[in-house]
Amino acid sequence: MVDKRWVYKSVPDAVSKPAKADWSGPADASPAEEGGDGQGTGTMPTNHEMVARLAAVINVNLTLAALLFQRGIRTYEEARHFFRPSLEHLHDPFLMKDMDRAVARLDQALRAGERILVYGDYDVDGTTSVALFYGFLKSWWSLPATHFQYYIPDRYAEGYGVSSQGVDWAHQHGFTLIVCLDCGIKSADKVDYAKTLGIDFIICDHHQPDARLPDAAAVLDPKRSDCFYPFDGLSGCGVGFKFLQAHCQQQEIPFEELYPFLDLVVVSIAADIVPMVGENRVLAYFGLQQLNTSPRPGLRALMQIAGCTHFRDISSVVFGLGPRINAAGRVAHAKVAVQLLLADTPGEATAFARQINLNNTSRRDLDAGTTQEALQMIAGDETLLIAKSTVLFKPDWSKGVIGIVASRCIEKYHRPTIILTESQGKAAGSARSVPGFDVYEAIEECADLLEQFGGHMYAAGLSLKLENVPAFRRKFEEVVARRILPEQLTPLIEVDLNLNLAQITPKFYGILQRMSPFGPQNMPPTFVSERVRLQGEARVLKEQHLKLCVFQEGSSVMEAIGFGMAHFYPRLNAEEPFQICYQITENDFRGSKSLQLHLCDIKFGEGG
């Protein structure tokens, strides 16, 4: 097994390494209702002093204050917003570049009775975006079916983004406005083509733009260089939500009318793995409430099939709903996912949910077979084994699972990976990356060999001529080898703080839970405890998981579980102290709840 790196986030030494002195204060403190502004005067305070000041201002112990400090929280007001998200914290949508133009063009189309087509990508973010935008306008405006429809491109026949086939279909059916969601920012040529046919575009995207923006009626993308919107981490569905928020303001529609659609927004945020800060955290917080209390029939049916009655966190949405919704477009047509999300009755929703669940079963079979082939290709090629990147091509692999397979290869070999297959006479691929390495920029350096590419730091898509695959493989390896740092080729665990096991109490855990929803840039706190000892015998479950009880001097015994960590079992004994890296979770077994350590890694030796 490859050793993992434990990298501590930036915090004061006295907080992050309290082995020699207990610097944490009472472990059962809770955020205060009142406090000062956390501002100081005089010389610039050290991080140590700022954490101490924050702890005093909001009445928490230093451990919790340090966790907040790591998340950019410095004042009472920032802490209050963090612990008490509010939809009032959302930004004015008209701060986004072109929002006024987008709202005006949509209003013009609605008043003139133009035919409007809602166009979206075939993944979770795209299908939820379409269901959000189409569903809301349909519920509010009396639009005849002939004048208001949605369109999802076929992954295999049309590929990613706006397609010529889609534009032609819109023209043939008399549509004069296309609202494009979660794609389109790199479709300048298709937008130009649509203009020759008398079709306008409103683009709502969140991907990195090219230097030349599409010549659309409006381009909503907080990542465009001339857009100064305060938050650029929205999902595609989030950008669509902001468009509808602006539309509601302009039409004097109560904002509350959008609340029932927050279940779609949180699913997109979870599945697209966008930063869980700013507006995303607010939308996710209230979206989880909507999902758990009053989900739309389609999501309720899918939850029942997935065996999920309640989502405690974002990760359960990622794994419970994301793969199933995605599966529709991976093995069939993603239009079924939109039909599920727009279903009006439980019976209709259940029928679509069952169909999608069957698609997901087929997807899992494809995924497993392709992953096995890919790993065998790497293991059997000495050049690939020593490379800094992985680029694999097999013409008969399913285009619908190559992104998943790229992620599986990274789990094994931990390096930037691109999986290619043949599609429409070209090589089409999905790229995934490792923490800290920008795979989009690496691909951009190879642009002379590519037909199309798009994406962001950790995931991208691309296409190229079949004859360019060998040259692309060589150039991509050269770029990665030159750019990547040695430590980025080793699996990384980011550690928040060292913790004494005695500090873990139900109240401490309760405050940690108030820091959710968790996701990128606000991950669940990860702790390290040193000089830990084994209580009793460790056990191996199902030949791969590790179950044990641990304690430190002066602490009570804590139960811990390490999934896929059975390889540590031979080294564990009651005599040798060790270090554990973990997150704190709650185990609910037949209604009995107890705190449990979810192990991330083990290192042997006392530490400290």
DSSP string, 535-579: EEEEEEETTTEEEEEEE-TTS--EEEEETT-GGGGGG--TTS-EE
In terms of DSSP H, where are the helices of 259-332?
262-272, 278-293, 297-306, 314-320, 322-331
pLDDT at 372: 95
Structure-token pair, residue 197? 């046919």
Decide if 25 is inside a domain: no
pLDDT at 417: 97
Cα–Cα–Cα angle for 73, 78, 79, nearest 5°? 75
Which of 354, 381, 406 terminates a domain? The answer is: 354
Residues 288 and 385 both lie in one domain: no
Helix axes 262-272, 278-293, angle to 10 degrees: 120
Return mean pLDDT, the chain: 90
Burial of 102 (0-12, 13-18, 19+ CB in 10 A): buried
Q: State whether 477 and 543 are in the same domain.
A: no
pLDDT at position 55 over 90: yes
Give Cα separations from 99 to 88, 222, 247, 252 (angstroms): 19, 11, 9, 16
Selection from 293, 260, 259, 266 nearest residue 280 by Cα: 266
Please list, in sequence order, all residues whose beta carbon lies within 8 angstroms of the beta carbon of residue 188, skipping any fewer than 6 positions away. 210, 212, 213, 214, 215
Confidence category of residue 27, pLDDT binned at 50, 70, 90: very low
Contacts of 182 (CB under 8 A, 6+ apart): 120, 121, 123, 125, 126, 129, 204, 205, 206, 235, 236, 237, 239, 240
d(C-alpha 105, C-alpha 90), whole Å: 24
In terms of average pLDDT, the best of 61-70, 97-106, 510-519 is: 97-106
Indicate whether 25 pLDDT > 90: no
The angle, 0 to 180 degrees and rounded to 10, between the axes of the packed helices 346-379 and 335-342 is: 140
Return the structure tokens found at 9. Answer: 């986030």
**119 plus 264 within the same structural domain:** yes
The pLDDT score that the predictor gives to residue 30 is 36
pLDDT at residue 12 above 80?
no
- Tell me which residue range forms the domain holding 221: 93-354
Number of domain units in the chain? 3
Among 468, 489, 510, the domain-final residue is: 489
- Residue 224 in contact with residue 256, Cβ under 8 Å? no
DSSP state, 162? -
Q: How far is CA 243 from CA 36, 129, 156, 285, in A?
A: 37, 11, 30, 20
Q: Is the pLDDT of residue 144 over 90?
A: no
Q: What was the pLDDT predicted at 16?
A: 47
418 lies in the same domain as 549: no
Decide if 381 is inside a domain.
Answer: yes
Cα separation, 164 vs 185, in Å, equals 15
CATH code of the domain containing 382: 3.10.310.30
Do 200 and 257 share a domain, yes or no?
yes
What residue has token string 């298709």?
A: 190
pLDDT digits 0-9 by tens, 112-121: 999 999 999 9
For residues 342 and 254, state if they share a domain: yes
Asked if residues 76 and 38 have their Cβ atoms less than 8 Å apart, the reply is: yes
The answer to the question of residue 453 being in a domain is: yes
| Tokens matching residue 533 | 């000892």
* Residue 252 backbone dihedrals phi, psi, to 5 degrees: 55, 40
Question: What CATH number corresponds to the domain at position 547?
Answer: 2.40.50.140
Residue 57 lies in a domain: no
Is 582:557 a contact under the CB 8 Å cutoff? no
Domain boundary among 321, 354, 387: 354
CA 10-16-22 angle, to 5 degrees, is 155
pLDDT digits (tens, 9 = 90+) for 215-262: 999 999 999 999 999 999 999 999 999 999 999 999 999 999 999 999
Q: Tokens 């923490």 belong to which residue?
A: 435
- Indicate whether 439 and 556 sit together in one domain: no
On whether the CB atoms of residues 452 and 437 are closer than 8 A, the answer is no
Name the band, by pLDDT with cuts 50, 70 and 90, for residue 587.
Answer: confident
Residue 79 lies in a domain: no
Q: What is the pLDDT of residues 148-198, one digit of tens each?
A: 999 999 988 888 889 999 999 999 999 999 999 999 999 999 999 999 999
How confident is residue 143, by pLDDT bands cut at 50, 70 and 90? Answer: confident
Label residue 606 by pLDDT band (50, 70, 90).
low
Identify whether residues 254 and 114 lie together within a single domain. yes
For residue 517 the two structure tokens come to 């929803």
Flag whether pLDDT at 18 surpasses 80: no
Mark whether 327 and 377 lie in a shared domain.
no
> How many angstroms separate the CA atoms of 280 and 84, rounded?
14
What percentage of the chain exceeds 90 in pLDDT? 78
CA-CA distance, 145 to 143, in Å (whole number)? 6
Q: Rounded distance, CA 289 to CA 268, Å? A: 15
Whole-model pTM? 0.87
Whether residues 346 and 373 fall in one domain = no
In a domain, 133, yes or no: yes
Instruction: Kindly state whether residue 43 falls inside one of the protein's structural domains.
Output: no
CB 471 within 8 A of CB 447: no
pLDDT of 42 strictly over 90: no
Question: Same domain, yes or no, for 377 and 409?
Answer: yes
Angle between helices 262-272 and 297-306 (to 10 degrees): 50
Is the pLDDT score of 19 beyond 70?
no
CATH number at residue 336: 3.90.1640.30
Mean pLDDT of the 433-456 span? 92
Query: 581 — phi, psi (to 5°)?
Result: -115, 130
Say how many C-beta atoms besides its own lie within 10 A of residue 142's C-beta: 6
Counted residue by residue, the chain has a size of 608
Q: What is the pLDDT of residue 343?
A: 96
In sequence order, the 6+-apart residues with CB closer than 8 A to the CB of 304 are 350, 353
Tokens of 38: 């956390």
- Residue 2 is predicted with a pLDDT of 64
Q: Identify whether residues 335 and 372 lie together within a single domain.
A: no
Q: Is residue 359 part of a domain?
A: no
The model's pLDDT over 389-415, given as tens digits with 9 standing for 90+, comes to 999 999 999 988 999 999 999 999 999
Amino acid at 357: N
- Residue 228 structure tokens: 């100064």
